[in-house]
Amino acid sequence: MEKNTHLGFKRELPDNNLRVSEQMYRRIFEDSMDGMFLWNNQYQIVNINFAAEQMLGLSKERIIGRSLFEIYPEDKKQEIREHFERVYQYGENSSSIVFDIRGDKQRHFDYSTKREIVEGLNVTVFKDITEKVEIEQQLRKSETLNVIGELAAGIAHEIRNPMTALKGFIQLLESSIKKEHTMYYQVITSELERIDSIINEFLLLAKPKEIRFQEKDIQQIMKETIDLLNAQALLHNVQFITAYDEPLPLIFCEPNQLKKVFVNLIKNAIEVMPNGGAITVTISKEENHQIHISIKDEGFGISKEKINKLGEPFFTTKERGTGLGLMVSYRIIEEHKGVISAESEEGKGTVFHIFLPVNHMNYS
């Protein structure tokens, strides 16, 4: 009687079984959700599976026979080389890497390599973890926001009281200041104003004492905001183009807070167009009881590396920036159970998208 191994295979596989077994492994390779490369000891790619083709946007025909190092962008080669050096040293290694795939947004991958899974053949397995990384970033961001929000109220009030005294006394001194010292006086007042504006932004972080959510016309809020900023826009040669869906449902919101968000985004848009341009504002009704607001500028845009930093406290690229405007805005949108994101092309401009639920009480 033939003995079975513990896997249930007969010890001596007849041809037919061998084929079945080979087919099985081929299917596992092809249908795996993780991307896989098989390569030989000359770093030549022997096979890649379907998931790998999809994730990297490569085709099997074009890739088989090429060197592993050829398919990576120049600036990643060193990183990849180090990974393979460790593989040769220890037999296996795991790393992660960030790629631009076809000019798309950056994607994050975890990958591991094992040597000699069969003689002369090595395998690299990788997984697209972009979504996971993004969720983690979001979580970290909103955690930081919460902590800062709590700190903000306390500290800002503490600073505000001595500030009021300082401002008062400085004003008293104005008339008695010698002419040659007026420069100092100007610097002191302008710096005090700056501290004041930072504190005000900080205070906004703390939950307003009286949150009054009410049903409001979002279009009206936007119109008031644009009226408010029109003079500043004209001064910088910036025009507004607006397109609002009609009719729009009323939305349950804290109107002053939303206005603050729009002011922040539009101010930023004006500031990135030193030579003028257009700001396009749209408001439209989406499915699932959502309102979509977009604010688009024609400014210099923001790089892929920096776009994830938007909304982080104190992230600023401006000499006199505070890096608080977007943080406050992100927080307010979060409190409305909405979502805010930015899309940007360097040299062309940036669009901020806000999605707000019409009645967020139903969602919380």
Report the residue number, 99 or 315, with the smaller CB distance to ligand ADP: 315
132 Cβ partners below 8 Å, 6+ apart?
108
Partner whose footprint covers residue 317, from Mg ion, ligand ADP, none (CB < 5 to 8 Å by kind): ligand ADP
139/149 Cα distance (integer angstroms): 15
How many CA atoms does the CB half-sphere of 20 hold within 13 Å?
7
Residues constituting the chain: 364
In the complex, the smallest distance separating the C-beta of residue 25 from Mg ion, rounded to whole angstroms, is: 57
Judged by CB under 6 A, the residue of 45, 152, 222, 269 near ligand ADP is 269
Binding window for ligand ADP (CB under 6 A); candidates: 14-22, 29-37, 46-54, 320-328: 320-328
Given a contact cutoff of 8 angstroms between Cβ atoms, the answer to whether 126 and 111 are in contact is yes
In the complex, the smallest distance separating the C-beta of residue 268 from Mg ion, rounded to whole angstroms, is: 4
What are the Cα distances from residue 353, in Å, to 251, 283, 338, 340?
A: 17, 10, 10, 6
Given a contact cutoff of 8 angstroms between Cβ atoms, the answer to whether 72 and 80 are in contact is yes
Residue (of 51, 23, 37, 52) closest to 121 by Cα position? 37
274/144 Cα distance (integer angstroms): 32
Partner whose footprint covers residue 272, from Mg ion, ligand ADP, none (CB < 5 to 8 Å by kind): ligand ADP
Q: Give the count of residues interacting with ligand ADP (CB under 6 A).
A: 21
In the complex, the smallest distance separating the C-beta of residue 244 from Mg ion, rounded to whole angstroms, is: 24
Judged by CB under 6 A, the residue of 52, 152, 229, 310 near ligand ADP is 310
Residue (of 291, 315, 295, 294) closest to 303 by Cα position? 315
Backbone angles phi, psi at 282, to 5 degrees: -125, 150
The enclosing H or E element of 152 equals: helix 130-173
Binding window for ligand ADP (CB under 6 A); candidates: 63-71, 72-80, 172-180, 321-329: 321-329
Partner whose footprint covers residue 299, from ligand ADP, Mg ion, none (CB < 5 to 8 Å by kind): ligand ADP
Given a contact cutoff of 8 angstroms between Cβ atoms, the answer to whether 228 and 263 are in contact is yes
Report the residue number, 87 or 327, with the smaller CB distance to ligand ADP: 327
343/324 Cα distance (integer angstroms): 19
DSSP 320: T
Backbone angles phi, psi at 35, to 5 degrees: -75, 145
Partner whose footprint covers residue 125, from ligand ADP, Mg ion, none (CB < 5 to 8 Å by kind): none
37/44 Cα distance (integer angstroms): 10
Judged by CB under 6 A, the residue of 141, 254, 322, 333 near ligand ADP is 322
- Judged by CB under 6 A, the chain residues 324 through 363 that form the site for ligand ADP are 324-327, 350
Binding mask 225-264 for ligand ADP (x = CB under 6 A): ---------------------------------------x
Residue 313 binds ligand ADP, judged by CB under 6 A: no
Partner whose footprint covers residue 87, from Mg ion, ligand ADP, none (CB < 5 to 8 Å by kind): none
Partner whose footprint covers residue 269, from Mg ion, ligand ADP, none (CB < 5 to 8 Å by kind): ligand ADP
Binding window for ligand ADP (CB under 6 A); candidates: 89-97, 154-162, 247-255, 294-302: 294-302
Which residues lie near Mg ion (CB under 5 A)?
268, 325
Residue 297 binds ligand ADP, judged by CB under 6 A: yes
Backbone angles phi, psi at 42, to 5 degrees: -95, 15
Report the residue number, 32 or 144, with the smaller CB distance to ligand ADP: 144
Judged by CB under 6 A, the residue of 299, 332, 354, 355 near ligand ADP is 299
Report the residue number, 122 or 268, with the smaller CB distance to Mg ion: 268
Residue (of 76, 77, 81) closest to 107 by Cα position? 76
On the 0-12 / 13-18 / 19+ scale of CB atoms within 10 A, 294 is: middle
Residue 148 binds ligand ADP, judged by CB under 6 A: no
Judged by CB under 6 A, the residue of 96, 316, 341, 359 near ligand ADP is 316
